[in-house]
Chains A and B, each alone.
Chain A
């Protein structure tokens, strides 16, 4: 059992967890940050994706202790003073979900992609997003949403 601080969405959370307990488990079960989802526990579906120091990270695959000191952003941390990010806006505008369970992970992965590459090609979008599963099959709409968010960002909308 270790005691440490996690820096999540610009807040510090004191955490007490076992050394091999995953960041996902701590987020969901200790801190009630349930926007980050469990889908497979083996890094195959992307539902648990968060940003760690800006990189898309499968929170089910790293121990929470290893995330101490990193700047973590979860889906709850994107909206600022009631304003959605261009990626969130684009998912709404394209209706890029059905059940919405994959949406948190999709938006986090897409946010990391657009942070690194402001104007990805469709091929780059597909490569970057291929680790995220949408069982409802809304992939085309998600690609369209990322394209839309990309042009919103490039056009200086935000």
Chain B
């Protein structure tokens, strides 16, 4: 696969021009497309997915294949695995494919890259298109040679007669003409058991651009005549501007102050001068009293937002809990945390006449496109959003703040403007993973059969709130609350906290029943996929041989969300004098159906576990009266080399099952596994995330 992007960087080149630029090629009409494939791109009736293949795949005369998708690359290596899937179905070499991603002028509309949806939805969508294209090419060759199409041999972008006497490449076949065809229904996909390109450990396609510093991230984009912008921020959330004095800033040479209602920004020839100008602005704010970390969880419970219905309800939890043999009632809490993508929000905006082009880091290019259209009252064709592969997001870049700010400043100054948020801005003015509270009551018979499960989540979220254990009497409910802080998506959403609360509670039940935590889980799980990962993790970890002591603890947790199944074991050591906890070893077993790229998958599963360590052990946002008190990496600890345990990942490849996404659910197991390991060693049950916020020192 080439790393070259097409030479059409001018913002006024639209898709029609782009296709003209590509020259003659293949055009296939395919309808209908399967419902599951359409799910990825369909949010409303306004956005029907195109059903002609040229919107998705283009083969040029040299056999180079361009694949168009609104999904974006944020480090999950989907650029690689989507290309593998297309190469597989099209029967071309992996290297012949270039993915065109996240450019709203060039790719079909897409809701965004989140929810682990790219692999289960966009991948089949593109595979369908690739199969249809291949079948059309084969039929065309068959007609040309008057040979039965089913007898032809297709491989590496080449169609060969059964006797090997004649062959033609895709490029030669499509040269100079557009081939058009309607294909009814879903074409047959290649079963995973027969994959040759998909299913293999393929390295990141443009890896060399990253190790040489050549890859241009959103914050690296440079345009001719570009200047630098910064936004003047309020002193606190919900602060009202009483007065502002920008005269000193305006005196700095080359600085322009832009006022637009409540918005105040500066533009300068250098980023440094822009920041100097911000420092020179004086303002008075009135700041209303606001909640803080202190008393947060009571606040969330006491301030509901709207009515909610139970997610699950069966039998009677009250009666069975009252009469059960063994019961546990607990309360779990979790703090707000920040995504802290290493690349903060960034955008470059450029106006050409009435057309606005923005290069920005976002998981939702079309969402940002819509925001910009509305803000500047432009038609869809007057806005182009381009998303260069960015410095990660983890669910934290669904929005387009920097894009909007750069566009405003660029319009005011008539020059292309770059806005790159500072780390402090990213910590303060982005959004957080929600804080929350879980109250759970569970009960079992003395033989270890779960009989009752009542689970209430306040504010954290409903993702993976249901229990995968078989329990006849259940009440599971999510309660929305008025969050004091701006909150939003995060890798795995609330699945992390719901798993933490559930898996710690399950561990506590096992101990109350004097049962082995693995045996207790297996007794109450019927789902074979969940059982398989649990057993695989326990076996690799040598759970049977793991005997805790006051200085060494072992814990396990399991769960499922978004089509992925995970089980995690953790080994912790505890220093007897300092009580410091160290995570020694972790084993994570994972299953998400047929594996498209085992190397990419292993990287994701391991990375999710490491990221999960932060929320498990020490990440938390401290806030008071509308201010973030730790908006710096020196005060907000994220996992580092020295925090990383020895990690073993066990991948279960289920070639008989459709591939699910793997970007998120690998994060959910580590926190409860560590909590359970600390309990096994110390007898102290930690019910708060992060578990050890005071820098490794455990409570008790």
The docked-state distance in angstroms from the alpha carbon of A18 to that of B394 is 36
> What residues of chain B lie closer than 8 Å to A32, measured between beta carbons?
222
Known: A88-B211, A104-B213, A132-B641. 13 other contacts (CB 8 A): A25-B270, A37-B342, A84-B208, A95-B204, A95-B603, A100-B207, A100-B391, A101-B343, A103-B211, A130-B641, A133-B633, A137-B639, A140-B647
Stretch at the interface among B18-26, B110-118, B607-615, B620-628: B607-615
How far is the CB of A128 from the nearest CB of chain B, in Å? Answer: 9
- Determine the chain B residues whose CB is within 8 A of the CB of A29 once the complex forms: 228, 270-272
| Contact present for A139 and B272 (CB under 8 Å) | no
Task: Tell me whether A67 is interfacial, beta carbon within 8 Å.
Answer: no
Chain A residue numbers with a CB within 8 Å of B210 are 97, 100, 103
Docked Cα-Cα span, A107 to B389, in Å, equals 19
A25 in contact with B272 (CB, 8 Å): yes
**Distance A103 CA – B214 CA, assembled complex (angstroms):** 11
Q: At the interface, yes or no: A136 with Cβ under 8 Å from chain B? A: yes
Q: Taking the nearest CB of chain B, how far is it from the CB of A156, in angstroms? A: 22
Q: Kindly identify which residue among B222, B272, B342 contacts A135, using a CB–CB cutoff of 8 Å.
A: B342
Residues of B within 8 A of A (CB): 74-77, 203-204, 207-208, 210-217, 219-220, 222, 228, 270-273, 276, 340-344, 389-392, 394, 420, 422-423, 599-600, 603-604, 606-611, 613, 632-634, 638-642, 644, 647
Indicate with 1 or 0, residue by residue over A69-100, a CB within 8 angstroms of chain B CB atoms.
Answer: 00000111011000010001001100101111
Binding site for B on A (CB under 8 A): 17-18, 21-22, 25, 28-30, 32, 34-42, 44-45, 47, 74-76, 78-79, 84, 88, 91-92, 95, 97-104, 107, 125-127, 129-130, 132-143
Return the contact of A99 from the options B75, B219, B422, B644 (Cβ within 8 A). Answer: B75
Residues of B within 8 A of A39 (CB): 342-343, 423, 633
**Residues of chain A contacted by B272 (CB below 8 angstroms):** 17-18, 21-22, 25, 29
Q: Which 8 A-B pairs have the closest CB atoms?
A: A35-B213, A137-B610, A99-B75, A101-B391, A75-B213, A100-B210, A137-B607, A44-B633
B214, B390, B422, B607: the one contacting A35 at CB < 8 Å is B214
Tell me if A101 and B639 are in contact (CB < 8 A).
no
Given contacts A44-B634, A135-B341, A136-B611, contact A34 B271 (CB under 8 A): no
The answer, among A17, A25, A35, A136, for a CB contact under 8 Å with B75, is: A136
Across the interface, A102 reaches (CB within 8 A) one of B77, B342, B606, namely B342
20 contacts between A and B (CB under 8 A): A18-B272, A28-B220, A34-B213, A34-B220, A37-B391, A44-B634, A78-B212, A97-B207, A98-B76, A98-B392, A99-B343, A100-B391, A101-B75, A101-B342, A101-B390, A103-B211, A130-B640, A137-B606, A137-B613, A139-B644
Q: Which of A30, A97, A125, A129 has the most CB of B within 10 A?
A: A97
**Interface pair A95/B212, CB less than 8 Å apart:** no
The total number of A-B Cβ pairs within 8 Å is 172
Given contacts A42-B634, A133-B640, contact A36 B213 (CB under 8 A): yes
Residues of B near A103 (CB, < 8 A) are 210-211
- Does A25 lie within 8 Å of B271, measured CB to CB? yes
Give bound CA distance, A143 to B644, whole Å: 11
Name, among A22, A30, A35, A78, the residue most crowded by chain B CB atoms within 10 Å (CB to CB).
Answer: A35
Q: How far is the CA of A28 from the CA of B216 in the complex (A)?
A: 12
Contacts of B217 in A (CB 8 A): 34, 37, 101
Bound state CA distance, A140 and B644, in angstroms? 8
* Smallest CB gap from A137: residue in B: B610
Chain A binding site: helix, strand, loop or mixed by DSSP?
loop
Closest to A126 in B: B641
Whole-angstrom distance between the Cβ of A144 and the nearest chain B Cβ: 11
User: Do residues B342 and A42 form an inter-chain contact, with CB atoms below 8 A?
Assistant: no
CB distance from A118 to the nearest CB of B (A): 20
The complex places the Cα of A125 from the Cα of B610 at a distance, in Å, of 18
Q: Please, how many angstroms separate the alpha-carbon atoms of A100 and B222 in the complex?
A: 19
Q: Which of B389, B392, B599 is the most central at the interface, judged by chain A CB atoms within 10 Å of its CB?
A: B392
A126 to B343, CA, bound (A): 23
Cβ contact within 8 Å between A98 and B603: yes
CB–CB A38/B219 < 8 A: yes
Task: State how many angstroms separate the Cβ of B3 from the closest Cβ of chain A.
Answer: 12
Minimum C-beta distance from B582 to chain A (A): 13
Closest to B643 in A: A139
> How near does chain B come to A15, taking the closest CB pair, in angstroms?
11
In the complex, residue of chain B having the shortest beta-carbon distance to the beta carbon of A1: B253
| Nearest A residue to B219, CB-CB | A38
Give the chain A neighbours of B423 by CB distance below 8 A: 39-42
Residue numbers in A under 8 Å from B204 (CB-CB): 95, 97, 100
A139 and B613 alpha carbons, distance in the complex (Å): 13
The chain A residue sitting closest to B611, CB to CB, is A137
Residue from A38, A102, A141 whose CB has the most chain B CB atoms within 10 Å: A38
B213 in contact with A135 (CB, 8 Å): no
Q: Are A95 and B207 in contact (CB under 8 A)?
A: yes
Q: Chain A contacts of B634 at CB under 8 A?
A: 42, 44
State A79–B228 Cα separation when bound (angstroms): 30
Across the interface, B641 reaches (CB within 8 A) one of A36, A76, A129, namely A129
Q: How far is the CB of B683 from chain A (nearest CB, A)?
A: 30
How far is A45 from B222 in the complex, measured between Cα atoms in Å? 24
Q: Write out the residue numbers on chain A whose beta carbons fall within 8 Å of the beta carbon of B213.
A: 34-36, 74-76, 104
In the docked arrangement, what's the CA distance between A100 and B348, Å?
Answer: 20
Q: Please indicate the chain A residues that have their CB under 8 angstroms from the CB of B77 in the complex.
A: 98
